[in-house]
């Protein structure tokens, strides 16, 4: 009897042990392991219309790189902030966009009345540097003073070519003036020394003779003429070092045009009167032969038959 009970007890334990092992195996199958991998999203063509559940750790979307078939889409521009109508009335300080700056007007191009090649033909010894420097101002002056016929141009170029030594000089040659304490020149030619105190030239202040010596392609001389030339351009050519501006390329040509117009030399050029033109510029006939040579070259360059 005791043996039978013992065998039966062993059999029950064996059955319970097996059941326990099966339960452990079943529980182990349902637990994730270290080699667990989340499901891979299948191609779009296979999942159209299907809501695929993705593990939480993989829900962050990466920016899609543009392909050749799909160019990147530009973000739409932001609308500018405009000051509300009511705020304008109340004068409130509202944030507004800065106005677009206006473009500066382009400089008007000057008409070319005479080319560099023709100027070179008239003045064969002019340097390229001086030719380039005076080319634009010269054409601007021809235009503004109506020196726009071939005969007028020929006479004007002939006179300034002689006066300036083919654009070489734009101010009077005054060697070693040796200024004293009052800035009065104590050395110079007898004509230059007469500038000082010359009331006909308007030289009324000490040092005016040297200060307002000749400048320009047709030389401007004396305080009175510097004042009048400045008034024509609304510019001061008398204060400080301003007289030297008249020797610069822009004003050196312009003062020649200003003097030409003031003396009404276009009318004499139309008559081809080189003698009277020379007298009004020079005060005499100094260098008349040289002026005539330049005039002859100018007429040839511009196709004027004599």
Please provide the DSSP assignment of 201-256 as one string: GT--STTHHHHT--BTTTTB-SHHHHHHHHHHHT---SSTTGGGGGGSHHHHHHHH
- pLDDT single digits (tens) 27-62: 665 555 555 454 454 444 444 443 444 444 444 445
What the block records as the tokens of 242 is 């301003």
Element (H, E) at 149: none
- pLDDT single digits (tens) 109-157: 679 999 999 999 999 999 999 999 999 999 999 999 999 999 999 999 9
Distance CA 296, CA 306 (A): 9
Q: What are all long-range contacts of 222-230, with beta carbons under 8 Å and residues at least 24 apart?
A: 222/195, 222/198, 225/201, 227/202, 229/255, 229/258
Q: How high is the mean pLDDT of the chain?
A: 81
Q: What are all long-range contacts of 47-50, with beta carbons under 8 Å and residues at least 24 apart?
A: none
Least confident of 78-82, 125-129, 221-225: 78-82
DSSP type of residue 284: S
Could you give the percent of the chain with pLDDT greater than 70? 68
Least confident of 8-12, 22-26, 132-136: 8-12
Distance CA 156, CA 258 (A): 12
What average pLDDT does this structure show over 282-305? 97
Give the pLDDT confidence score for residue 33 in this predicted structure: 53
Taking a C-beta distance cutoff of 8 angstroms, is the pair 220, 262 a contact? no
Residue ranges per structural domain of the chain: 112-168+253-306, 171-247
b/e code 228-238 from CB counts within 10 Å (16+ = b): ebbeeeeeebb
Environment class of 35 (CB within 10 Å of its CB; exposed 0-12, middle 13-18, buried 19+) = exposed
What the block records as the tokens of 147 is 């020196």
């Amino acid at each position: 009897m005791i043996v039978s009970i013992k065998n039966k007890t062993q059999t029950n334990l064996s059955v319970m042990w097996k059941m326990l092992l099966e339960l452990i195996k079943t529980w182990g199958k349902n637990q994730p392991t270290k080699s667990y991998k989340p499901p891979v999203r299948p191609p779009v063509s296979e999942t159209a219309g299907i809501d695929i559940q993705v593990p939480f750790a993989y829900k962050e979307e990466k920016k899609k790189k543009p392909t050749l078939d799909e160019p990147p889409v530009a973000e739409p521009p932001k609308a500018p902030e405009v000051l509300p109508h009511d705020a304008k009335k109340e004068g409130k300080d509202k944030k507004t966009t800065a106005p677009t700056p206006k473009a500066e007007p382009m400089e008007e191009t000057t008409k070319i009345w005479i080319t560099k090649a023709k100027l070179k033909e008239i003045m064969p010894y002019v340097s390229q540097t001086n030719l380039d420097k005076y080319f634009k101002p010269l054409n601007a002056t021809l235009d503004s003073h109506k020196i726009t016929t071939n005969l007028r141009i020929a006479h004007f170029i002939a006179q300034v070519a002689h006066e300036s030594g083919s654009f070489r000089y734009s101010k009077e040659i005054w060697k070693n003036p040796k200024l004293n304490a009052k800035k009065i020149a104590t050395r110079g030619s007898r004509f230059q020394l007469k500038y000082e105190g010359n009331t006909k030239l308007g030289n009324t202040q000490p040092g005016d003779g040297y200060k307002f010596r000749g400048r320009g392609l047709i030389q401007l001389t004396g305080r009175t003429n510097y004042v009048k030339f400045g008034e024509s351009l609304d510019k001061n050519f008398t204060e400080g070092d301003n007289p030297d501006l008249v020797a610069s390329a822009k004003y050196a040509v312009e003062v020649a045009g200003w003097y030409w117009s003031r003396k009404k030399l276009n009318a004499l050029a139309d008559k081809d009167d080189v003698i009277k033109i020379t007298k009004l510029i020079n005060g005499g006939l100094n260098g008349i032969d040289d002026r005539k040579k330049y005039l002859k070259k100018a007429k040839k360059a511009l196709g004027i038959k004599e």
